[in-house]
Amino acid sequence: MKKLTPAIKRVPNLQKAKEFTIRISEKTIAKTEEANSFLTDFANVILFITRTLKETFSRDFEFKEFIHQCFQIGYKTLPLISITGTIMGLVLTIQSRPALVSFGAVSMLPGMVAVSLIREMGPVITALICAGKIGSGMGAELGSMKVTEQIEAMEVSSTNPIRFLVVTRVLAATLMVPLLILYADALGILGSWAGANIKGDVSFILFFSQAFSHVDFIDFLPAVVKSFFFGAVIGLVGCYKGYNAGRGTESVGIAANSAVVLGSLLVLIVDVIAVQITDMLLL
């Protein structure tokens, strides 16, 4: 008969069990803190937007500050938008001309460039440039005011900082970004005419008549409507990041950087939503 070996009872390692339990609890606490932080940030964003909308329709509107912000946002951004718009049309024409020549459709070049610029390229690229220029400026300016406690001083002196600092900047961005986009579209078509004359000879009047003969009102309207949302998003993100910046000087750079990143991302998201809505309406 075979000898039966007694079963060896394994004693559980209590130390490993405790470490495993602690590790699980730490992960749970970390995930809970992340969820709480996300919900807190989301609630702060909703409250900030609600306060901004409430103060927008208040009686005491800061009209002088609004005009000043329009000058800062619109006029100070014109050189950058001028270069961007001209290069957009020039590069698009130079890149598209060889393909159209191979198909014998060079006459379609002005219309193709005009529709591309007005419907998509002009609004999106200009809004991204504005997100970098305007959003970072708002985030850095309001962030520095937060660090130096100027916003708290305005509250103490019975001045509403949301009405004076945020509403004026958001409305100025909402108004000036569409104008900058239209300006960039016009310069883009002008740059396209210059690009078409590099290897050809097209008159100014003929090029523009061919360009706008392919543009309909349905091409123009959605681009203008979504450009207002681009401006509102850029203004809200820049003001929110600067207004809620931390106390240290390092937080000013963080506010400006996060305003650019989040503003650019939201511009692309708004563009996707606008394209889907326009596509559904046209069907």
- pLDDT 10s digits, 88-143: 999 999 988 888 888 877 888 888 999 999 998 999 999 999 999 999 999 999 99
CA–CA distance, 46 with 33 (Å, rounded to integer): 20
Query: Looking at the domain assignment, is residue 46 inside a domain?
Result: no
| 13 has pLDDT over 70 | no
Rounded to the nearest angstrom, the gap between the alpha carbon of residue 198 and the centroid of all alpha carbons in its chain is 34
Query: 101 is written with which tokens?
Result: 């020549």
| 71 has pLDDT over 50 | yes
How far lies 191's CA from each of 113, 149, 188, 207, in Å?
10, 46, 5, 11
Arithmetic mean of pLDDT, 189-210: 87
Domain region containing 180: 56-282
Query: Looking at the domain assignment, is residue 233 inside a domain?
Result: yes
Number of domains in the chain: 1
pLDDT of residue 8: 43
CA–CA distance, 88 with 128 (Å, rounded to integer): 13
Query: 15 is written with which tokens?
Result: 């130390």
Do residues 118 and 278 make contact, with C-beta atoms less than 8 angstroms apart? no
Predicted model pTM? 0.84
Query: Looking at the domain assignment, is residue 201 inside a domain?
Result: yes
| 230 has pLDDT over 70 | yes
Confidence of residue 241 (pLDDT cuts 50, 70, 90): very high
CA–CA distance, 85 with 231 (Å, rounded to integer): 17
Query: Looking at the domain assignment, is residue 78 inside a domain?
Result: yes
| 67 has pLDDT over 50 | yes
Query: Looking at the domain assignment, is residue 26 inside a domain?
Result: no
Q: Where are the alpha helices (DSSP H) in the chain?
A: 14-56, 63-74, 78-102, 109-116, 122-130, 136-147, 150-156, 161, 168-196, 204-213, 217-243, 250-282
Tell me how far apart the terminal alpha carbons of the chain are, to the nearest angstrom: 87
Query: Looking at the domain assignment, is residue 68 inside a domain?
Result: yes
Neighbouring residues of 136: CB distance < 8 A, sequence distance ≥ 6: 238, 256, 257, 259, 260
Query: Looking at the domain assignment, is residue 112 inside a domain?
Result: yes
CA–CA distance, 67 with 50 (Å, rounded to integer): 23
| 23 has pLDDT over 80 | no
Confidence of residue 55 (pLDDT cuts 50, 70, 90): confident
Confidence of residue 217 (pLDDT cuts 50, 70, 90): confident
Do residues 235 and 242 make contact, with C-beta atoms less than 8 angstroms apart? no
Query: Looking at the domain assignment, is residue 215 inside a domain?
Result: yes
Neighbouring residues of 214: CB distance < 8 A, sequence distance ≥ 6: 108, 110, 111, 112, 114, 115
